[in-house]
Structure 1
Amino acid sequence: MSPLDATLLSLLACPVCKKPLAYRASGPEALDCLACKKRYLVKDGIPVLLVSEAQPL
């Protein structure tokens, strides 16, 4: 699976606290919010930024 485009990543923010997200390529591909300690999985190259789908870090 290819990593997310850097331009797209720079536009995305945590839906809870609006802070930037950190791309995580190791293990399941995901976007992590280090501010509110939530992980959003990337499924088939599409970030799932639903609060109800977030996992704790």
Structure 2
Amino acid sequence: MAPLESWLLELLVCPTCKTKVTPTTDGSALRCPACRVRYPIEDGIPQMVPEAAVPEEGGAETGTSP
């Protein structure tokens, strides 16, 4: 899977809290540090909808901010 373009990463924010998201180390998701959720990247397309959010361990519930 190709990494997302840097210009696109500059534009993307969490749909719940509007915090800038960052790619995970393996590039499989975008992470919101404020909500502590990950938005999966499927076929090179970030799934930036609250319903797709996967909570990190010890993080917020899906699609909600702390």
Q: TM-score, normalised by structure 2?
A: 0.80
Match of 1:50 in 2: 49
Give identity over the alignment, percent.
43
Q: TM-score, normalised by structure 1?
A: 0.91
SS in 1 for 2:15: coil
Larger radius of gyration, structure 1 or 2? 2
Aligned residues: 56
Unmatched segments (≥5 aa) in structure 2: 57-66
Unmatched segments (≥5 aa) in structure 1: none
Deviation at 1:25, TM superposition (A): 4.0
SS in 1 for 2:9: helix
SS in 2 for 1:39: strand
After superposition, residues 1-57 of structure 1 pair within 5 angstroms as 1-26=1-26, 29-57=28-56
Runs (4+) of structure 1 moved beyond 4 Å?
Answer: none
> Which structure dedicates a bigger proportion of its chain to strand?
1
